């Protein structure tokens, strides 16, 4: 599990981006992190991945194998001359994962075996996302962190990706933390939502989040659930 206590974070001399976060993530849960652009979602993820260190407070992480699926258009250079097999081999070597068939097996999980020799730049957004999920699954992770998996992906592929993530969460008991802009997917799949607004975060269940969202955007306080 991950236990965050009184965590503050700021970049150098600037004001706090995240303020007094207190939050626990239980094993086997599926949590979506929601918030406006610039609310601190990506910073929060970087803190969980140990890429940044909290200014104050602490994060206790008991997960052993954390895997990360980045945003497709965030860091990926589509002109990079690399095949899918090479991407997975790099990861395999870095994670010291053994097994000759591990690449084929992880590609089979996302039904992308036929693209093993393809260049990354020739794949669509959905296919790329599946490859990164396949890569993340290579080390049998117990925690999977995804940054906007539906970004730049068509509806059909989105459904496939979310179904895959949900299966991993429910069948393989992998804990999932997902930064989301896709409200529909977040509400449909998550067991819990974590809403970050102006650096302050709080846990809410999907129904509460919809209520908050409606109040904030339409001023409607009462809504009828269907």
Q: Which residues bind another protein (CB under 8 A)?
A: 49-51, 66, 68, 70, 75-77, 80-83, 85-87, 89-91, 93-95, 117-119, 122
**Shortest approach of another protein to residue 119 CB, angstroms?**
7
Beta carbon nearer to another protein, 93 or 100: 93
**Shortest approach of another protein to residue 49 CB, angstroms?**
5
Query: Cα–Cα distance between 85 and 220 in angstroms, integer?
Result: 51
Query: Cα–Cα distance between 176 and 1 in angstroms, integer?
Result: 11
Q: What is the CA radius of gyration of the chain?
A: 18
Beta carbon nearer to another protein, 82 or 215: 82
- Do the beta carbons of residue 65 and residue 141 sit within 8 Å? yes
Q: Nearest-CA neighbor of 124 among 106, 159, 151? A: 151
Beta carbon nearer to another protein, 95 or 166: 95
Beta carbon nearer to another protein, 19 or 46: 46
**Shortest approach of another protein to residue 102 CB, angstroms?**
14
Query: Cα–Cα distance between 28 and 5 in angstroms, integer?
Result: 20
| CA-to-CA separations, 16 to 150, 202, 223, in angstroms, rounded | 29, 17, 35
Query: Cα–Cα distance between 174 and 124 in angstroms, integer?
Result: 26
SS percent in the chain: helix, strand, coil, step 5: 40, 25, 35
**Shortest approach of another protein to residue 138 CB, angstroms?**
10
Beta carbon nearer to another protein, 66 or 150: 66
Q: Is 90 helix (H, G, I), strand (E, B) or coil?
A: helix
Beta carbon nearer to another protein, 40 or 141: 141
Query: Cα–Cα distance between 160 and 147 in angstroms, integer?
Result: 16
**Shortest approach of another protein to residue 157 CB, angstroms?**
16
**Shortest approach of another protein to residue 96 CB, angstroms?**
9
């Amino acid at each position: 599990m991950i236990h965050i206590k009184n965590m503050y974070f700021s970049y150098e001399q600037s004001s706090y981006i995240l303020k007094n976060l207190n939050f626990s993530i239980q094993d086997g849960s599926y949590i979506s992190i929601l918030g406006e652009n610039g609310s601190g979602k990506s910073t929060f993820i970087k803190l969980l991945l140990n890429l940044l260190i909290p200014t104050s407070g602490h994060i206790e992480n008991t997960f052993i194998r954390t895997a990360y699926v980045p945003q497709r258009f965030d860091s990926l250079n589509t002109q990079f001359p690399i095949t899918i097999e090479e991407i997975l081999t790099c990861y395999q070597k870095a994670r010291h994962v053994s097994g000759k068939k591990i690449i084929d097996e992880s590609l089979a999980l996302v039904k992308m075996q036929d693209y093993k020799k393809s260049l990354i730049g020739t794949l669509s957004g959905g296919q790329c996302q599946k490859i990164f999920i396949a890569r993340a699954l290579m080390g049998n992770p117990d925690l999977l962190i995804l940054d906007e998996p539906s970004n730049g992906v068509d509806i059909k592929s989105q459904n496939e990706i979310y179904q895959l993530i949900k299966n991993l969460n429910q069948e393989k008991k992998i804990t999932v933390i997902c930064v989301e802009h896709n409200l529909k997917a977040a509400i449909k799949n998550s067991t819990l939502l974590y809403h970050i607004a102006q650096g302050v975060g709080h846990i809410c269940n999907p129904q509460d989040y919809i209520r908050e969202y409606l109040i904030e955007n339409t001023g409607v306080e009462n809504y009828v659930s269907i």
